[in-house]
Structure 1
């Protein structure tokens, strides 16, 4: 009398296993802005390389799926995602309320902070107070330009704006500015590439970069979120930080710390799921 029940149980298990396997596609087509070094930048052979390109390929390897990474203008990425051209975006997108109301996001793959670069060999800067009265170069019209301008009265610094961040860094190396403010990864890349400047004090914003999905694709978002957790726990993202930014991530930072649930806590689209970190996607 127990045989039919056993067969039913085995059949149900097989169906569940098939269902789980079906959740992992054989291939993904993803995209990013190929001009945002060091996250993505052109290669001499016409390809694209960078932190987020490597991240995309690591996700593919973790999930056992082929990953095709397209390079496109940032302004066209989200419309193409919504149209179904791409399965998800691997561009670094800062998660905020407005964006999270229209897209699904994975958990953050790293913190998106501001950071200064200063002339090589400068004394250590440990707070914003250390920049009081300094001349600070910045990319005109950027979020960093706005931050410096809004806080100029409080800290007494002089803001000098340039058309590109490369020019702003050059102002530091030639003595026309005491420091440059940019995104933490761009600042780290500048210091890694240019021995005349050092990476300096970092301003924590409380914001993260994450990967973007259509709002109706919770299944794929959750799958890739789990892959990110695996890569963090194995140290793979810390290795990418060393490779592309020359920075060893601090303990507890987003790039090495899996986030509970799926998505970014306290943002629309977050799913409070009590699941264990696992690298088993078979």
Structure 2
């Protein structure tokens, strides 16, 4: 499904300076429209979510119309490389393998793992606190692999379910002490369901970035600057509160600009001293 959305969001009076090549036109981008709360279908056949809002804020900063396509994630990267899209609005974890084939903006969010527990459960502040607990997880996911790999060390019991929704239900019914999934996924579940609450967040050290073709350094840098602006003007914090019910902590990637362009330590990163700003320059 494809739709055009012209951003007219209030409070976006400052535009990042654009080069001639990127000054006019439409941003063509895409994401997986079934990855809640980053993107999910609406009753009128469109999509909504954190990354939908994010790309429209970027479009507003760059003075462009956003042409956003919702498609299966497996087809997004090949379509980007074929030139169908200018960049991907989908959250893509930056890895060494991916950075060898694509350019990435700086991280717009940490890709941490999150534990979800019953609303009345005690606070858990480290992995050791889950020793002897039963943890529900989506079968076949990276979170299931993580739990199984560390089960001997931490002594927890892993219960796998066909969907993460079923894993959350195991917590609310008392069949499991916790659910492990992506931090934003469990935050969304806690926001919707008062029977559960967020618990310990396990840092992976990885981030989500927006992916570009290797030859589009100029486009990547423009969008990187837009993300920096959205971090410092409070827009990213507002998106976090809207979609995850979480006020970001100081120093987290979602509100902290990264020096240079791209993700430090990965291919395509450019170390320079430009100052993050929302001003015309």
Q: What is the CA distance between 1:251 and its match in structure 2?
A: 0.1
- The equivalent of 2:165 in structure 1 is 166
Q: Which has the higher helix share?
A: 1
Contact residue 93 and residue 211 of structure 1 kept, 8 A: yes
Q: What is the CA distance between 1:104 and its match in structure 2?
A: 0.4
Contact residue 262 and residue 270 of structure 2 kept, 8 A: yes
- The equivalent of 1:77 in structure 2 is 76
Contact residue 63 and residue 281 of structure 1 kept, 8 A: no
Contact residue 26 and residue 66 of structure 1 kept, 8 A: yes
Across the aligned residues of Structure 1 and Structure 2, the Cα RMSD in angstroms comes to 1.2
Answer yes or no: is 1:94 the counterpart of 2:68: no
- Cα distance in structure 2, aligned partners of 1:21 and 1:231: 23
Where has structure 1 moved over 6 Å in runs of 4 or more? Answer: none
Residues 151-190 of structure 1 mapped to structure 2, 5 A cutoff: 151-190=150-189
TM-score (normalizing by structure 1)? 0.92
Q: What is the CA distance between 1:281 and its match in structure 2?
A: 4.7
Residues 110-259 of structure 1 mapped to structure 2, 5 A cutoff: 110-259=109-258
- Cα distance in structure 1, aligned partners of 2:97 and 2:250: 30
Q: What is the CA distance between 1:278 and its match in structure 2?
A: 1.9
TM-score (normalizing by structure 2)? 0.92
- The equivalent of 1:4 in structure 2 is none
Q: What is the CA distance between 1:122 and its match in structure 2?
A: 1.0
Q: What is the CA distance between 1:274 and its match in structure 2?
A: 1.1
- The equivalent of 1:272 in structure 2 is 271
Q: What is the CA distance between 1:98 and its match in structure 2?
A: 0.4
Q: Deviations over 1:54-112 (max 9, x none)?
A: 00000001111111111000000001111111000010010010010011000000100
Answer yes or no: is 1:106 the counterpart of 2:105: yes
Give unpaired runs (5+ residues) of structure 2: 1-16
Contact residue 113 and residue 206 of structure 1 kept, 8 A: yes
Contact residue 81 and residue 87 of structure 1 kept, 8 A: yes
- Cα distance in structure 1, aligned partners of 2:273 and 2:168: 45
Contact residue 113 and residue 207 of structure 1 kept, 8 A: yes
Contact residue 172 and residue 180 of structure 1 kept, 8 A: yes
Q: What is the CA distance between 1:19 and its match in structure 2?
A: 8.0
Contact residue 100 and residue 268 of structure 1 kept, 8 A: yes
Contact residue 116 and residue 190 of structure 2 kept, 8 A: yes
Contact residue 18 and residue 62 of structure 2 kept, 8 A: no
Which structure: larger Rg?
Answer: 1
3-state SS, counterpart of residue 187 of structure 2 = helix
